[in-house]
Amino acid sequence: MIENKENIHFDVFANLFRGIESVGGKLKISDGSLLFTSHALNIQQGSTEIIIDQITSIKKRNTLGIVPNGMLITTRDGVEYKFVVWNRQRIIEFINKRLQSV
């Protein structure tokens, strides 16, 4: 989990695809991890944390094949996380800089 002493660089509304459901919530990005926390209106609730040094790739993706607001994160264990976010370019650049320093 994100520690209180860590800097939060992004705190944005986001959706995370869990199966076919697009789960709405907040995505917080710190120096060391991404933490997605769903809001109470979803069928699937809870948090998902991705440690930055476990990420092997981060790519742009289009939601519904046409909307340029998605990103695909793949981790070392082969898990793929599909997010919908605004300002994805800034987020991707931030994570890539963190990956280069790992």
Q: What is the pLDDT of residues 11-24, one digit of tens each?
A: 999 999 988 888 88
> Which residue ranges make up each domain of the chain?
8-100
CATH code of domain 8-100: 2.30.29.30
pTM: 0.88
The string of pLDDT tens digits covering residues 41-50 is 766 778 899 9
Edge-to-edge strand list for the sheet holding 21-30:
47-51, 33-38, 21-30, 8-18, 80-84, 67-75, 55-63
The DSSP string of 37-60 is EE-TTSSS--EEEEEGGGEEEEEE
Question: Mean pLDDT, to the nearest integer, of 63-75?
Answer: 91
Distance CA 50, CA 45 (A): 16
| pLDDT in the model for residue 4 | 59
